[in-house]
Structure 1
């Protein structure tokens, strides 16, 4: 494990890179697999689970409720048990823990308190808590800290939510819905739901566990009551975490291969293939996985990132380095992620000389000469990714709190520095 100074001098790519990278597992897949394993009838294994702060918080939360999650090896064994007794859940900065675990806690027979890092108290969760009340769960509070008082069962039924700020509101209710007496019939009423691939991921995983899901109607998802079958999941590489590495190929004019890129996936990060191709990169599947080769001159893009908002920081960093203008649209909802990502990107990229304009739902960027300086991350791992991408192409970029990348990628600084032959300790 590399010890990174703070602020961290982002390594510069002085020549085209030619590297192959193996990425840790997907956080989104790992945490959904852990929840479903805890709700299942028999033990199961989450193979190649991502070991990061977010996933360890999820494992601890489910253990606090009563399940046993053995995280000692690469493959994590989950043994379901009745959810009983009072418990305290630390959400940290993990939206999946704050939103996915309360519907599970409703099945407990104790008081389950939820809290997290200071910034987590500003992230929206009220729609989930209000929905749980409608479904028959006793909830105290509308934001962190809050308490779920379980009675051992949940009535379930029909509920209407506004999931326009996070698709996790929908996934949270669907994941536990099969264990509710009447299942759940979740209907969205509001602006379009962002990050729909994450709901598709949830639905696909529920079906793997033998749960009956109807997602055929617009803005409506129904989960029938019934058992959750145990399934051993093999976790795919985290494709959103591939963004800075593939971006390294784009900014250096070199080549980066990400091992084991799946041929079919519900991960939002798979959209990187089309985005990078539109920016002039050569994107090709090779026996090892996916290879991206950067162009002589990076082109800007006009792209709607509504369904893949988590990619916006990395894409914005690339656009700041492009030779033609860019416009990123459809991402007002990322203001409610780990930080207000639109405001943060405009501020930090602008601080390094980028010509960037913040809009209500996106960013416009025009070519400009960038320079070194301090890039703040706001305890947001995706902001750190943006900073290191710029730093690979611009001398003197210092990334504040690069250690926040441990949220989904253990020892990211060491891996990144190793690719560029840099030393940071």
Structure 2
């Protein structure tokens, strides 16, 4: 794990003197926004994205597509109904240089797009991006006919030499370290000459809801996809070559970004409502309804949204988070405040996320007096009385929000570099204090 040194920008995490009672409007989903941008860029006609997330990761994706020739016009609807982006497909081209930041969706979804461009497309990013696995995408694209220079690293920086088309066809990959390897190939597959057949050959595939999200969004723009969920072979996805339709898509609220606010209701015994929570969704964050209910709260889904209510008591939990790993930091924070031990399983792949999240959570919670131990595939958390102190984030947005949840119940917690939340939730500090002031 690359540790971010302590800095002067310490944010005093607000302490909750009582139960919260607030309505919190969460901005659009990063996962949906970035998939929608890719599909709109590859479509045969212009499309609209309504209520997209404006954050570091989505702006990096939009700018990357622009560098390859895609038109993306940002603005507000004529009726003042919120932000909307018009995406105008164009002939993809290089030379171009793409800054991926530390965004997994950008570094993994765009190399397949770059194979469809004419000319070289170079990918670079933050230092941490060099450490995140990309071999699944690189190796697969080579099998499918692409030419990529990565100096045998299987990681950034690298250059994709686009030829204006890609042959496609069958390919085997090990996506056990990231489901994004599968989604990356599926998103561009309709534009490959033969489409693609992706066969996962490794151990357990994490974050399956994100693959289901990819499949649903592909079908919504006219792609034909065969998948295990609809009677296909296990761990095999097939996408046929076809034109993609331009759509008018409204982006769902980011349910994973709702997590700290729901956690606030749970740990303070309060109530928080998240407007526009979808009745049906492929977002992993929807699992919070069940997980946080098991940890001591209750929820009600109505036309207004999701209202979650805590009781003031937090229960420990034994849960497999393999399909919803991004929720682990927030659940670990709540578990550290529970009245009984918790075991979080199925998330070994989190060691390869924005930071080594398992090591980071262990170090930071224990630094506040906690008792967390790493297991082979997760964490074991024994609640202990916690104290104030600096909670380091390692440039990881979910570490920052996890520390903020602990700060609600533990006075004196200071979050190092809370600005890292801009990756997916740009106004988090203001939203957090606004929730408490409500």
- For this structure pair, what is the TM-score category when the shorter chain's length is used for normalisation? over 0.9
Residues 265-321 of structure 1: CA distance to partner in whole angstroms, max 9, x if unpaired?
Answer: 000000000001101101111332001111231100000000000000000000000
Distance in 2 between residues matched to 1:343 and 1:70, nearest whole Å: 41
Residues 227-259 of structure 1: CA distance to partner in whole angstroms, max 9, x if unpaired?
Answer: 111111100000000110000001110000111
Find the counterpart in structure 2 of residue 36 from structure 1: 39
CA contact (8 A) 2:22 2:436 kept: no
Does 1:198 find its partner at 2:210? Answer: yes
SS in 2 for 1:76: strand
Distance in 2 between residues matched to 1:397 and 1:356, nearest whole Å: 18
Structure 1: state its 5+ residue gaps. Answer: none
SS in 1 for 2:136: helix
Q: CA deviation at 1:72?
A: 3.6
Of the three residues 148, 167, 170, the one matched with 2:182 is 170
Distance in 2 between residues matched to 1:266 and 1:345, nearest whole Å: 26
Structural mapping, 1:57-76, within 5 Å: 57-73=60-76, 74-76=83-85
Q: Normalized against structure 2, the TM-score is what?
A: 0.94
Structure 2: state its 5+ residue gaps. Answer: 1-7, 77-82
Find the counterpart in structure 1 of residue 87 from structure 2: 78
Q: CA deviation at 1:421?
A: 2.8
Of the three residues 399, 404, 408, the one matched with 1:383 is 399
How many residue pairs get aligned? The number is 419
SS in 2 for 1:405: helix
Find the counterpart in structure 2 of residue 12 from structure 1: 15
Q: CA deviation at 1:126?
A: 1.1
Structural mapping, 1:131-280, within 5 Å: 131-141=140-150, 142-215=154-227, 216-280=232-296
Distance in 1 between residues matched to 2:39 and 2:301, nearest whole Å: 32
Find the counterpart in structure 2 of residue 127 from structure 1: 136
Distance in 2 between residues matched to 1:385 and 1:279, nearest whole Å: 18
Distance in 1 between residues matched to 2:137 and 2:437, nearest whole Å: 46
Q: CA deviation at 1:71?
A: 2.4
SS in 1 for 2:121: strand
Distance in 2 between residues matched to 1:348 and 1:144, nearest whole Å: 28
Of the three residues 308, 311, 315, the one matched with 1:292 is 308
SS in 2 for 1:335: helix
SS in 2 for 1:261: coil
Distance in 1 between residues matched to 2:326 and 2:377, nearest whole Å: 14
Of the three residues 87, 91, 108, the one matched with 2:100 is 91
Q: CA deviation at 1:355?
A: 1.2
Q: CA deviation at 1:222?
A: 0.3
| Divergent runs of 4+, >6 A | none
SS in 2 for 1:193: coil
SS in 2 for 1:222: strand
Distance in 2 between residues matched to 1:280 and 1:20, nearest whole Å: 20
Find the counterpart in structure 1 of residue 4 from structure 2: none
Q: CA deviation at 1:58?
A: 0.3
Q: CA deviation at 1:27?
A: 0.2
Residues 137-175 of structure 1: CA distance to partner in whole angstroms, max 9, x if unpaired?
Answer: 100002110000011110000100000010000000000
Does 1:360 find its partner at 2:363? Answer: no
SS in 2 for 1:404: helix
Find the counterpart in structure 2 of residue 114 from structure 1: 123
SS in 2 for 1:11: coil
Distance in 2 between residues matched to 1:297 and 1:118, nearest whole Å: 41
Residues 378-400 of structure 1: CA distance to partner in whole angstroms, max 9, x if unpaired?
Answer: 00000011100000110000000
SS in 1 for 2:325: helix
SS in 1 for 2:344: strand
Residues 351-389 of structure 1: CA distance to partner in whole angstroms, max 9, x if unpaired?
Answer: 011111111211111121011000000000000111000
Distance in 2 between residues matched to 1:57 and 1:70, nearest whole Å: 14
Instruction: Report the RMSD for the aligned CA atoms in angstroms.
Output: 1.1
SS in 2 for 1:69: strand
Structural mapping, 1:315-330, within 5 Å: 315-330=331-346
